[in-house]
A and B are shown apart, each in its own frame.
Chain A
């Protein structure tokens, strides 16, 4: 159209493209290249090894990953969908309280969640042992581990995806649709099956895809629970630890291909015209549960579910008061005090990881904040060729499993490159903030874009026709309006960066080891109390950030998925 506009767009795009190419595209390509290398020459040997009979373990891991992911989708749906239906459609005492509890699993970072599960239900877990003692059994009656352990943890941590997407979809279903079906003579079940369910399909598909992707990428659960069981994300880590970077690259490529096809499929699915209607903001009205027996049954079930849901949090809190060396061979901890928290402030080796995590998360989020804001503005409000491609490029770090992001960065920056100003980044402090930054760009872009899309173009035009230059308009008009979106995305990124484990474990050094790594170290030293205290710090930080973003920016946790 006009030169000045084009110039502005170009000026915006140059840094965006540079960063995306440098830290997303180039590392991915390095990994791709590495996967075709074998002792210095280009070959398909790695892929032959992957699929061939020589390395059965890889194929097995791939199959296990897929199979675990499918089951995770199933179990998460089985928990999340009925819960969402009950909470949005029925009214019973304590409903809103229970529905708030239902999303509590999301405040547990994955590593901490898995750890809490181990303490609760593992071989030496508190619950099995308690049952054993109460009923005077010879053996613990059950314990989780291996594939069932992974599945249980996945179901626990991932059902909120179903719960939240389906709840918001149900809230958007006009209840009069169901009522009209009922008045046309359809039974309750018929109504659900013929009317409600089809309207929910988009939400169900979206949640399924999401859970599938997340569990394909899941690292912490297999890492702590798998035993001899192989999954692909873990195989990458082992290959890397064993120094077989070429195989790690090959495994990363395979996992990337799966994840990126899912990303593309999801984009296609969401852009498809669905048959959601222009609802006029009618909240679903809830039926009162009138049968007193049913009512109290529901409340009892709710209380029980609440206990199960909060046990991990509780055990974490309790164990964090167990001082070092006081719980070794006994079944139950005996001593409780504030030692672990005191050490935080007194022992620099204990405090350092916290400081590292906070600082690195802060730096990464500052980057995400600026970059995400500009990128999302360019994507939503500017016209240029190749926008779709850029959009996909931005979302790739979100689709890629964290392990793969870590591998990509290792393979890209284990030598000097123009993007690292000729420095080798691997093994330095800055590789981890960079990894966090790359990983959480999409979060900020997504939440900012959601707000920007609501922003009418004519608002900017109005400012312009009143004589404001572009920068002034952006600063005084656009920015204040999109700030809630940018900030909520950034806060979420911060939360996740503080809890981030997979990239940390691949890239940490002695100087920058974050909380998650220190948790792992403390676990190795059987110092569970300190590990739990670190976990509590993460949970506390996450809770604070979520409350802030809800209170001050009105961000609902479900919008942050």
Chain B
């Protein structure tokens, strides 16, 4: 088990910068997730930790040991690849035993350890199968077992679930978590599925085009995004441009043509362009008049039913804008009707004022 420290990592391919100035500390035993849109440098970062790439600048440390240019075979990391990368000409046993054979363990010990780990991933009955004869989920567990059996200091998983169907994905999520807790292994997990990230992680790093935007626990990231990119990327949100009006000591939205009441009302950095974010599930909607701050009138434009929730798009009167509202499904009688007049309220405590993310 190790902690991982990335200090000031930059990785360039030619003149293209894939990762820029990344600073990150992953604690021992932590389940840490890299989350971000496609092409933002997650895999690149992971591969630098595994040793397949070497950073152009910066240092990679495991515990306090500098590993920046140590080659992959000497890092003792366990990696699970997106396509599993099982050795197709070997059986399940041989695949899992590979890392132990390389480490010149005794036959008896190899056998025991392989059987133990296969027991843990519930593949013991398949021990002598050729890996090509396994289902996707089983192959995935072989890949996991192969990585775990060498008792790696760090477990690296690159979108291990992206090839699976929804049910299996759910199952495997729990499986991975269970194994991670059982072994207590420092784990770095790459995904662009936000639900996966939010449900599994101790902490998350949100990436955007080569930059790390925010590091925090799932709740911090969801409830206190540091900028509009994070707010928008994690979960659904309504984003509006706002401005801090010194003279009125309040935020003002051009789009709504009104002041916005926010609590707690911290006076933010004045000059930076700001946005307000409010989650769809936090917005109050009612057919009868609402009292209090931040109330607007609108007309229901579209109602979407998704099963557990109902999304409604509401056109605010006299404004060229829509807001999205989400409610849990409580039966057809509670749905809004299209073209109905409604009142919407942005509760002041639910509004986050965030700076705009620096654009590339």
Contact = CB atoms under 8 A, between A and B. Distances in A.
B54 to A, nearest CB: 5
B53 interface: yes
Nearest to B69: A2
A465 B72 contact: yes
Interface residues of B, number: 31
Interface string B97-132: 011001100000000000000000000000000000
B83 A456 contact: yes
B89 A481 contact: yes
Contacts of B190: none
Interface of A: 1-2, 4, 456, 458-459, 461-469, 472, 476-477, 480-481
B85 A466 contact: no
A4 B71 contact: yes
Interface string B73-109: 1111111011101111100000000110011000000
Contacts of B52: 461, 464-465
B4 interface: no
Given A2-B54, A458-B83, A476-B98, 16 more contacts: A1-B54, A458-B82, A461-B50, A461-B79, A462-B86, A462-B87, A463-B98, A465-B51, A465-B52, A465-B72, A466-B73, A466-B147, A467-B103, A468-B73, A468-B102, A469-B102
Identify whether the interface residues of B are mostly helix, strand, loop, or mixed: loop
B243 interface: no
Contacts of A480: 89
Given A2-B54, A2-B71, A4-B71, A465 B89 contact: no
B73 to A, nearest CB: 5
A476 to B, nearest CB: 8
B9 to A, nearest CB: 15
Contacts of A481: 87-89
A128 B287 CA distance: 103
A465 B77 contact: yes
12 contacts: A458-B83, A463-B98, A465-B52, A466-B146, A466-B147, A467-B73, A467-B76, A467-B99, A469-B73, A476-B98, A480-B89, A481-B88
A506 to B, nearest CB: 43
B87 A464 contact: no
B149 to A, nearest CB: 9
A458 B102 contact: no
A200 to B, nearest CB: 33
B50 to A, nearest CB: 6
A465 B102 contact: no
A472 B85 contact: no
Contacts of A463: 87, 98
Nearest to B76: A467
B58 to A, nearest CB: 15
B109 to A, nearest CB: 15
Nearest to A455: B88
B150 interface: yes
A217 B142 CA distance: 53
Nearest to B149: A466
Nearest to A4: B71
A487 to B, nearest CB: 14
Contact of A466 (B54, B71, B150): B150
A4 B98 CA distance: 23
B83 A461 contact: no
A476 B88 CA distance: 12
Given A1-B53, A2-B69, A468-B98, A461 B89 contact: no
Interface string B44-82: 000000111110000000000000010111111111011
B214 to A, nearest CB: 29
A478 to B, nearest CB: 10
Interface string B152-165: 00001000000000
A144 to B, nearest CB: 51
B85 A461 contact: yes
